Structure 1
């Protein structure tokens, strides 16, 4: 999981201020894995059981009424890997694969609702240095889409740190077909599959390491937040780290960092419950996973 006090991604940003075994990031690296792969990032100021295939998008339903009000999104909390936003709901359907579409905010960003009948509680930016802006759609209506988000409702010591969700207005986002691929992990079977839109399974791993008892791997659905090579993390041997949108269920942060996102990454020790929450894999597997685009759904089954 997280390496040092802060991610290696932001070494440049750190100079000024900044998977399990695992979210610009860079840390001063130690030769150990990142925690629930904790990129210790310095936030950028806010800008002005198993679902084995990815279903086709469901027919649009009328659902919640349209909302045409105007909002200044920069007055709202920004959804990002550092965010702790109590109003965001934790995923209530964690073992159902997202639909085969992703949403990206238009303009500066799109307001996010916990309940479309109320007022927005946050906003998701169009761009963010650490990713997390290509969002899997989990429900689609005539005027709204429900998506998976980065950030947390609470840190583990103060509440539920699970995968968060939110509603976006269809008019505020561009919704497009996803790559048609998803990742399905079975901890019990020690398998990792890339599942294609036609249901075909591509088994890319038959063993890996996962979270230890006190630092378990987060379970359920999430998505690829960003993928980065971090040479300063010696344990990766130069291979990329594939960070998820979800964070450790037990770590508020790691080694001085205030975040603890989980990830797929390479490690020489990669079998059994030994990590801080990240999934450690071999070189061939991490190379295959690194090919997947941001927003790719990831399902972690017990």
Structure 2
């Protein structure tokens, strides 16, 4: 087999995943945004029949805040957290169908230490920039001094380890917080994908393919990690690949690679549970999702 160009290393690994239908995601209950105190929040009702997002004037005050930690840490001594990392100390999301805030976090400086719990010892670091993205992440819980976020990478490698969506805590002093105005909601059983904002729902697709029973699309909350065009993947016919922060619950890797990333991407066959986990879309739907910013939350319902 010919060697892949160095520039396409992860793309080859990730995309290979996607090529065959990488892993997909599964939608969790609609986003019930709990934001930082100063922000507006948008709450999307979790009833599948609901198609309207409602707005509330202010966010609830943070509860059970943890004390601040101003300890300096040497980031170079901490493991990198990125799409390829496997770190047993990083927690798997314990509430995959839970809410997300209307905020995104991105490290300041060269990066931020990541904690399994506020006040503990750092278990890794999230860089400010990374070639394969994953550095702008959704906030799950916001406190005065800490934010809990979704992360790239895995705690373990299937089938022995848990490859589910990972989470961690960042210090507010280490990150910049920005609002996000939209999220993506996928309902596999209904075969619908919507972009949800305060103004309502935009139907992106009502015809796509998802994971086979043996290689299911993963369920729960995740986020857009990285979007890129990969010319080597001719099956995409020039459309972007939208990689997500969640990986396959059953595959250690794909197409000879060491990651099993879920993604939205174009594919000519777009019906039923026929992929290796990725979501196969038509061109217009793929291109529309590719317009969303890195860090945009994605919720996948079975």
Q: CA deviation at 1:37?
A: 5.8
SS in 2 for 1:148: strand
* 2:6 is the counterpart of 1:12: yes
SS in 2 for 1:104: strand
2:14/2:261 contact within 8 Å kept:
no
SS in 1 for 2:217: coil
Q: Structure 1: how far apart are the matches of 2:160 and 2:107?
A: 30
SS in 1 for 2:293: coil
Taking structure 1 as reference, are residues 269 and 229 closer, same or farther at Cα in structure 2, changes over 3 Å only? same
Taking structure 1 as reference, are residues 52 and 126 closer, same or farther at Cα in structure 2, changes over 3 Å only? closer
Q: Structure 2: how far apart are the matches of 1:164 and 1:64?
A: 21
Aligned to 2:292: 292
SS in 2 for 1:121: strand
1:106-141 per-residue CA deviation (whole Å, 9 max, x = no partner) reads 111100000113211100000000000001001000
> Any gaps of 5 or more consecutive residues in structure 2?
35-40, 42-58
Q: Structure 2: how far apart are the matches of 1:243 and 1:272?
A: 20
1:255-301 per-residue CA deviation (whole Å, 9 max, x = no partner) reads 21000100000000010011010000111111110110000001110
Aligned to 2:49: none
Q: Structure 2: how far apart are the matches of 1:70 and 1:154?
A: 28
SS in 1 for 2:122: coil
Aligned to 1:59: 61
Aligned to 1:219: 219
SS in 2 for 1:51: coil
Q: CA deviation at 1:50?
A: 2.1
Aligned to 1:99: 101
Q: Structure 2: how far apart are the matches of 1:301 and 1:261?
A: 18
Q: Structure 2: how far apart are the matches of 1:225 and 1:286?
A: 15
Aligned to 2:182: 181
SS in 2 for 1:242: strand
* 2:52 is the counterpart of 1:50: no
CA RMSD of aligned residues (A): 2.4
1:196-247 per-residue CA deviation (whole Å, 9 max, x = no partner) reads 034x011111111000111100100000001011121111111001000010
Q: Structure 2: how far apart are the matches of 1:181 and 1:213?
A: 30
Taking structure 1 as reference, are residues 29 and 185 closer, same or farther at Cα in structure 2, changes over 3 Å only? closer
Taking structure 1 as reference, are residues 156 and 97 closer, same or farther at Cα in structure 2, changes over 3 Å only? same
Give runs of aligned pairs for residues 176-255 of structure 1, distance below 5 A: 176-178=178-180, 180-198=181-199, 200-255=200-255
Q: Structure 1: how far apart are the matches of 2:147 and 2:300?
A: 23
2:103/2:179 contact within 8 Å kept:
yes
Aligned to 1:110: 112
Q: Structure 1: how far apart are the matches of 2:75 and 2:13?
A: 31
Taking structure 1 as reference, are residues 281 and 153 closer, same or farther at Cα in structure 2, changes over 3 Å only? same
1:58/1:99 contact within 8 Å kept:
no
SS in 2 for 1:299: strand
TM-score, normalised on structure 1?
A: 0.85
Taking structure 1 as reference, are residues 29 and 96 closer, same or farther at Cα in structure 2, changes over 3 Å only? closer
Moved over 6 A (4+): 27-30
SS in 2 for 1:262: strand
1:184/1:192 contact within 8 Å kept:
yes
> Any gaps of 5 or more consecutive residues in structure 1?
39-48
Q: CA deviation at 1:95?
A: 1.3
Q: Structure 1: how far apart are the matches of 2:161 and 2:13?
A: 27
Aligned to 1:44: none
2:15/2:22 contact within 8 Å kept:
no
Taking structure 1 as reference, are residues 98 and 28 closer, same or farther at Cα in structure 2, changes over 3 Å only? closer
Taking structure 1 as reference, are residues 281 and 61 closer, same or farther at Cα in structure 2, changes over 3 Å only? same
* 2:274 is the counterpart of 1:274: yes
1:35/1:261 contact within 8 Å kept:
no
Aligned to 1:76: 78
SS in 1 for 2:164: coil
